[in-house]
């Protein structure tokens, strides 16, 4: 496989999935596997399913269409995570079994197309319990639900919320209670039993582990902790998971001893930043054939000791190899762990190949 590439270790991915799925199952919670950061890669999707997720979720309808057409598994429920665009409603009805929603106008449009396609489209109504990204404000939920219940081809299956995305708000007793109480009110006042409370994303897993989620929460939508084995609240390793499920491999195209200090009058670099270089003396410097088109600079961590990332341009990653003790030469490659942002960029870059191991 040509460089640069992402090595995906499916065994480790399945193991991570099983760990999260089993933890959740102990609390009566189902896990929906999130594929948006891997551009709905088919092998990853299959590994998540092997690990026991009950369905797959993605924020892009194109990715769900791709999964629907290529998975050859009609029974796997597909969920659209990003609240739909009015201009994509037809595809949403076609490719998503369930979508997350917060706008009545959009839900009505979904109903129209669902009628046309003679299907029932399921929705989870998102509630903003504090993070201030998507969601109906709690005070408005009852009124919206009343309207939604009038629609023949929309089935409201639950309430959901998203946390730790915009405001960085963590799951708490208070914000989870908002969902639970709304579910009860919908039951008591509107005589509708909702089957799902979709309580959040990876950020709910630390609380889950401490058995701190209310029993009514019965679904989580999980990407990062499964894919990268991280506790997303502090980015520490999540217990009993692997962090090296995805490794970026990039090839050395130049290796030379160079003075650490640039020579000449200093201005901004190509990205409008002014590099302040504190190192001095002669350093062993490598250039790797991968750049900001493919990775996020701050999201890479070298696997080998003695490799230090210096900087990156669109197409070059510059590393200091002075402290690298092994033999290395042009044409060799180096490996890096990725954070969520770097994984997202790499998996969506058309220049990065994918190697399943
Ligand atoms: C991205 C996303 C998730 C998954 O988030 P992770 O932190 O990767 O677990 C869940 N729900 C929604 C609505 C999302 O957009």
Binding site membership of 36 for ligand 1 (Cβ less than 6 Å): yes
Which domains, and CATH codes, for the chain? 9-228 (3.20.20.10), 246-356 (2.40.37.10)
Distance 30 CA to ligand 1 centre (A): 15
Q: pLDDT at position 350, please?
A: 96
Judged on CB neighbours under 10 Å (0-12, 13-18, 19+), 143 is exposed
Q: pLDDT at position 56, please?
A: 98
Given the structure tokens 């191991």, which residue do they identify?
357
2 is catalytic: no
Give 123-153 pLDDT, tens digit per residue.
Answer: 999 999 998 999 999 999 999 999 999 999 9
Distance 262 CA to ligand 1 centre (A): 42
Write the CB contacts of 184 (distance below 8 Å, at least 6 apart in sequence).
none
Give 84-103 pLDDT, tens digit per residue.
Answer: 999 999 999 999 999 999 99
Weakly modelled stretches of the chain, pLDDT under 70: none
Q: pLDDT at position 2, please?
A: 94
Distance 190 CA to ligand 1 centre (A): 30
Q: Which of 17, 32, 44, 57 to mutate to test the pocket of ligand 1 (most atoms within 8 A of CB)?
A: 57
- Rounded Cα gap, residues 175 and 131, in angstroms: 10
């Amino acid at each position: 496989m040509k460089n640069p590439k992402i090595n995906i270790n499916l065994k480790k991915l399945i193991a991570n999935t099983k760990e999260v799925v089993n933890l959740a199952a102990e609390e009566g919670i189902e896990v929906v596997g999130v594929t948006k950061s891997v551009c709905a890669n088919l092998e990853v999707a299959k590994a998540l399913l092997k690990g026991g997720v009950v369905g797959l979720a993605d924020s892009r309808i194109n990715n769900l269409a791709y999964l629907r057409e290529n998975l050859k598994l009609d029974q796997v429920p597909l969920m659209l995570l990003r609240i739909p665009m009015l201009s994509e409603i037809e595809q949403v009805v076609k490719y998503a079994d369930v979508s997350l929603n917060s706008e009545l106008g959009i839900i009505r449009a979904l109903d129209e197309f669902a009628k046309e396609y003679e299907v029932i489209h399921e929705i989870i109504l998102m509630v903003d319990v504090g993070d201030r990204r998507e969601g109906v404000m709690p005070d408005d939920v009852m009124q919206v639900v009343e309207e939604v219940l009038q629609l023949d081809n929309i089935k409201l299956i639950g309430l959901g919320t998203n946390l730790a995305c915009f405001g960085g708000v963590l799951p708490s007793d208070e914000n989870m209670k908002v969902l639970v109480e709304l579910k009860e009110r919908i039951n008591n006042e509107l005589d509708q039993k909702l089957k799902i409370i979709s309580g959040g994303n990876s950020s709910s897993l630390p609380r889950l582990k401490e058995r701190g989620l209310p029993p009514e929460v019965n679904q989580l939508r999980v990407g990062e902790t499964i894919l990268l084995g991280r506790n997303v609240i502090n980015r520490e390793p999540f217990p009993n998971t692997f962090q090296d499920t995805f490794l970026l491999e990039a090839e050395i195209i130049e290796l030379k001893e160079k003075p650490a200090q640039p020579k000449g009058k200093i201005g901004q670099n190509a990205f409008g930043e002014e590099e302040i270089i504190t190192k001095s003396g002669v350093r062993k410097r490598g250039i790797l054939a991968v750049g900001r088109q493919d990775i996020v600079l701050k999201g890479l961590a070298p696997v080998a000791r003695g490799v230090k990332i210096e900087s990156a341009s669109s197409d070059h990653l510059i590393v200091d190899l002075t402290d690298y003790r092994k033999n290395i030469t042009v044409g060799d490659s180096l490996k890096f762990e990725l954070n969520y942002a770097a994984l997202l960029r790499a998996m969506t870059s058309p220049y990065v190949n994918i190697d399943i191991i």
